[in-house]
Chains A and B, each alone.
Chain A
Amino acid sequence: MKYSNEYGQAITSMARAIAAFALAISATAAHAQSANPSSHSWLAPAKSALLKNPVEPEVDSITQGRDLYSQTCMICHGPTGKGDGPAAAALQPHPGVLSDPKMWQHRDGELFWKISNGKGPMPPFKDALTEKQRWNLVNFIRTLSPRPANLPVEDTPPLASEIVPNESVSATAAAESVDGYVTRAEYDQLQRQLLALQAQLKSLAAASGQTLPDVAVEDIVLPSIPSETTASQLEALQAEVDELKQVADGGKDGRSDFLLTGYAFSGYTDIKGQAGTFNTGFNPIFLWSPTERLLFESELEIGFADGETELDLEYADLSYELNDYITVGAGKFITPFGIFRERLHPAWINRLPDAPHAFGHDGLIPPGVLGVQVRGAVPVDSTTAHYSLYAGNGPMLNVGDDEPDEIGNQHFNNYSDFSRNKTFGGRIGWLPFPELEFGYSGQFSKLNATGTSASRADATAHGPYLSYVRDSEWLRGQLDLKAEWVWSGVDPLTYDPNGDLGFGPATFSNERNGGYAQLAYRPTHAEIQIARDLEYVFRYDRLDRPSGALENADVSRYTLGLDYWLSPTAVFKVGYEFGTSRETGAESENINGLLIQAAMGF
């Protein structure tokens, strides 16, 4: 077919532009994606593919391979190689299915090369594992898929005609080769076939008692003699590429030690006795780390309250790693008391649309502390222990001059330390094995009780927490159990002793306690995608208030939740709460509620 000159030129410049554009992209991406082959198919170079497995697939090797597999591969490739490990959902491209009998189309050398070099989300294990360990892995991976009956005897390279091309390479090879050039993949494929033929020839020669001269196939170089036109075109192309590279380099991201992350949510809450309302919130998190040891972190909480936009500084603290076991910090930080506040409160992490009683913003422990902290973790044999200690501005006791309903409550938003007394607290935790963690937290404060029968009062809070998370084949999914409780007490006092405030004298034992137990299950090993994306949640939570206080309702709830995960950090949650509230001496009141929330972490 003949094209007019102009048309031909247009095609040439289009091709040039495409090539230059592709080069510019790869130049820009080079610093992020180092040396990853860009083609869809993943082929080992012929020389590596034909490498002979020096480790016999015997019990020892396979057992060691299995242990390595469960330590390094299972997280993505799954316990039986189905590509359904717990992390699989987060990965693109999806982890390879090692249980597929098609695995036998790959030689041991190819598997070894792939393990060594990695690609995309699969990291290279060249440095992390010894050669022997990688061969052990190959031997174990072989046990994950049944060996096809028609496979040639071991140690004999498959016949050239039997080498099944990897993915689409040879299907398109013929079509692509008409331009007179071969692609890298085609070249590798041809080289591999040649090597296989050479090996076959050698074995035939050996059988007939002849010797053949040694020719190293990898030394064969395809001659490349560009014509004059091609040469000038190449030159022009090179100039364009150089120019584009310069432009691309200029636009490269700077190496800033800053990370902007956070989360957002939008929802609807309809609780009996209250007007149903839409709600939303946006919590950006700013992280700066100018050196290895220094970190500044801050979370803003932007939302609506009482008809106004509200901006809260959830935390803003500087921390410095003294050594592997001690980090010191100062500022406003999330209270290291229990685990809900510190670890689970972000909307994309919390499996339900609301916080459990006792651990929410109006709970029994301070959401944040303005002060200093020391924390760290220590490996103890194969277990881990950790500690956190803090000191900060003490809470304020409500003595009734403002919101008399809430007498005896502690207010934690104490940014100027009214009582001139500090609060001290800490938490210790232990992980006997990675799936299980439990610990205990405690806090002690001296409160300013002026206006009551005493001038000062002691306040304590303490309680245990437990976390158990396990993804297993026999559970066909992931089980996530969390539970924590807190007992909070303030010395008994008489509020409004002279009756000046109009409700006293009121004396009561100021003991409160509350907590939750939550169980979530996600069938991460289900066959159907939609089943894997659903998570079922059950939570029981309660808060007991002192019976002599003005606000004395004991509240408890059973919550059923269904979450649909659109991505690992985006979720749509629906929860129904069966709640009751019972004031001292009164009938219990139903406070059922429906909560809907969409949340996203970024």
Chain B
Amino acid sequence: MNTKPKTFFAGTAGLLIATGFLVIGCSTISKKSDTNPALIMAPSGAQLWAENCARCHNFRSPTTYSDGQWRIAGHHMRLRANLTAEQERKIVEFMQASN
């Protein structure tokens, strides 16, 4: 592997930016939990839908697919976007309940 100093500088800069975002992110989280003490709940299917799908594309209407089709779409997206098993299951359940 031929690594130039330039590579290191750019890599470090990238990591610094990422860390910056992380810090901003964590401060947002802690602000949130200040206002809602002891109210940490598992996210619902609707919330997971909102959080995960828009990371790449617009929301598709739940009526786009049938229950069986949502199961397959969920499976495909779990692979494509590296979703956790629980995220996939809850999102698919929500879409199936809403179509």
Contacts and interface: CB of A to CB of B under 8 A. Distances in A.
Contacts of A384: 84, 87
A75 B50 contact: yes
A70 B50 CA distance: 11
B99 A32 contact: yes
Interface in B18-32: 18, 21-22, 25-26, 28-29
A124 B21 contact: no
A344 interface: yes
Interface in B38-76: 39-41, 43-47, 49-52, 54-63, 65-69, 71-73, 75-76
Nearest to B62: A121
Given A89-B59, A259-B65, A73 B14 contact: no
Given A71-B41, A384-B84, A464-B18, A258 B72 contact: yes
Interface in A338-390: 342-344, 348-349, 375-379, 382, 384, 386-388
Contacts of A375: 79, 82
- What bracket does the count of chain A residues touching chain B fall in? 35 or more
Interface in A491-514: 491-492, 509, 511, 513
A276 interface: no
Interface residues of B, number: 64
A325 interface: yes
B62 to A, nearest CB: 5
Contacts of A325: 85
A435 B28 CA distance: 11
A266 interface: no
B47 A72 contact: yes
Given A464-B18, A511-B4, A255 B68 contact: yes
A436 B21 contact: yes
Contacts of B67: 32
Given A63-B36, A324-B86, A433-B29, A469 B2 contact: no
A458 interface: yes
B79 A327 contact: yes
A523 interface: no
Interface in A457-481: 458, 460, 463-464, 466-469, 471, 478
Given A256-B68, A319-B79, A492-B2, A75 B46 contact: yes
A379 B48 CA distance: 13
30 contacts: A32-B66, A72-B47, A86-B50, A86-B54, A87-B59, A118-B97, A123-B46, A123-B98, A258-B72, A259-B65, A261-B73, A289-B71, A324-B84, A342-B80, A375-B82, A377-B82, A429-B82, A436-B21, A436-B25, A437-B55, A458-B1, A464-B14, A464-B15, A466-B14, A466-B18, A469-B54, A487-B10, A487-B11, A492-B2, A601-B57
